[in-house]
Amino acid sequence: MRALVIRRLLYMVPTLFAISLVAFLIIQLPPGNFLTTYIADLAARGQSVDQSQIRALEERYGLNDPLAVQYFRWIGGILLNGDFGQSFLYQRDVSSLIWDRIGISVALAVATILLSWLLAFPIGVYSAVRQHSPGDYAFTFIGFVGLATPNFMLALLCVWIAFAYFGESMGGIISPEYADSAWNLGKVLDVVSNLWVPVLIIGTAGTAALIRVLRANLLDELRKPYVTTARAKGLPEWRVLLKYPVRMSLSPFISTVGWVLPTIVGGEVMVSIVLSLDTTGPLLMQALQNQDMYLAGAFILVLGALTLVGTLLSDLLLAWWDPRIRHAQAEEA
């Protein structure tokens, strides 16, 4: 198992490198840079731009250096000093801007995954065991609708319902009275109480997908001969189901985390923008629109890396859960 963990960690290195490249390229792709946007802005307001000031700024941010040099300066700063560079927009260190928001994003993603599992597991098992029952049809239909509804649409609907029927606008995750306080129990409870609506919205599509995966897998497994073997031993039906087919169908269920996670992170960004939560979403959006490259790059890099870690954790969980995978990978190693 330890060899497996080490091998998977080593695998992550090139992937992380690739993510950092992609993040960097995305920042570099748009023609021009923050400075040209800034100058255009000033010019539009009729202010003249001092050439020496521009040169000073270019010098400071190394905007005229070759791309490779810029990249290595950027990634080197992150790796060696945890320095993600400066945000042009806020005139502050990027690292001072992102970590609070990323923390909330991670909390949202983890809460969403847990909720998706908690909901999807019993519903999926029920739907498969009671196939073609009214309950199965109802859940299947709800699942399809959940998959088909864009989550920004769901968020908008929630906003509308909250506004029209409860007369309040959906606020952020941290209530105003805790906005500036340090983290304490009250603040945590406050966050949790504000968290559930976004978690439900973000989790809908993932939960629906998980239910369908579990149901399909379990339906396949229920017809396998080993289930009959278990019945032929004289085991009670519920024990037959839980010990054998459910256990087997949980393997693909666990491995889905790997691909549900990127979706959840993405959904989190969308929903946060609509609900204007204090997470990565709105800030990333703003950074992209203003070509605030270090800020946007930091977000994409950190979100990508965290997703990778999440995928790794789900892989390890799967190896722990399923001896076939554990043994196959141990042999490979």
Partner 1 sequence: MATGTDPDVVLKVRGLHTRFRTDGGEIPAVDGVDLTIRSGRTLCVVGESGCGKSVTARSILQLVEPPGRVTGGQVLLHPGASSGTDPAGGRGAAAAPPPTEPLDLAALDPKGRDIRRVRGRDVSMIFQEPMASLSLVHRVGNQIGEAIRVHNPVGKKEARRIAVRLLGRVGIPNPDRLVDAYPFQLSGGMRQRVMIAMALSCEPRLLIADEPTTALDVTTQAQILDLLAGLQRDRGMAIMFITHDMGVVAEIADDVAVMYLGKVVERGGVDEVFHAPKHPYTRALLESVPRMGGTRRERLPAIRGSVPDPGDRPGGCVFGDRCDSFMPGLCDTVEPPIVEAGGSRVRCLLYGGAQKDPAAPRVGAAGRADPDTRPRKEAADVDAD
Partner 2 sequence: MGLNLPQRRRPAATGEPGAVPANADRGAESQWRLIGRRFRRHRLAVCSLVIVCLMALVGVFAEFVAPTSTGEYSAEHTHAPPQRLHFIDTSGDGVDPGFYVHGYDSTRNQETLAREYTVDESEKIELGFFVEGTPYRMWGVIPAGTHLFGTTDPDERVYLLGADRNGRDMLSRIVYGTRVSLSIGLVGVALSFVLGVVLGGVSGYFGGRLDTGIQRVIEFTMSIPTIPLWMGLSAAVPREWGPLTTYFAITLILSLIGWTDLARVVRGRFLSLREEDFVTAARLDGCSRSRIIRRHMLPSFTSHIVASLTLAVPMMILAESALSFLGLGLQPPVVSWGVLMQEAQNIHSIAGAPWTLLPGVAVTVAVLVLNFVGDGIRDSADPYQ
Between the CA of residue 297 and those of 73, 138, 303, 320, what are the distances in Å? Answer: 13, 43, 10, 34
Nearer to partner 1, 22 or 325 (CB): 325
Q: What are the Cα distances from residue 200, in Å, to 26, 179, 194, 271?
A: 31, 23, 11, 11
Distances (CA, A) of 184 to 40, 179, 190: 45, 12, 10
Q: In sequence order, what are the residues at sequence separation of 6 or more whose Cβ sits closer than 8 angstroms to the Cβ of residue 228?
A: none
Contacts of 191 (CB under 8 A, 6+ apart): 104, 107, 173, 174
Q: Is residue 252 within the footprint of partner 2 (CB under 8 A)?
A: no
When the beta carbons of 226 and 259 are compared against partner 1, the nearer one is 226
> By C-beta, is 12 or 330 nearer to partner 2?
12
Identify which of residues 87 and 311 has a Cβ nearer to partner 2 in the complex.
311
Binding partner of 313, given partner 2, partner 1, none, CB within 5-8 angstroms per partner class: none
Q: What whole-number distance in Å separates Cα of residue 40 and Cα of residue 55?
A: 15
Q: How far is the CB of 224 from partner 2 (least distance, A)?
A: 12
Tell me which of 72, 163, 226, 238 binds partner 2, using CB under 8 A: 163
Applying CB under 8 A, does 142 fall inside the site for partner 2? Answer: no
Q: From partner 1, partner 2, none, which one binds at residue 299 (CB under 5 to 8 Å depending on kind)?
A: partner 2
Q: Does 197 bind partner 2 (CB under 8 A)?
A: no
Does 258 interact with partner 2 (rule: CB under 8 A)? Answer: yes
DSSP string, 239-269: HHHHHTHHHHHHHHHHHHHHHHHHHHHHHHH
Q: Which one of residues 296, 298, 318, 319 is an interface residue with partner 2 (CB under 8 A)?
A: 296
Nearest residue (CB) to partner 1, 201 versus 254: 254
Binding residues for partner 2, rule: CB under 8 A, are 14-15, 18-19, 22-23, 26-27, 29-31, 144-145, 147-150, 152-153, 156-157, 159-160, 163-164, 169, 258-259, 261-263, 265-267, 269-270, 273-274, 284-285, 288-289, 291, 296, 299-300, 303-304, 307-308, 311
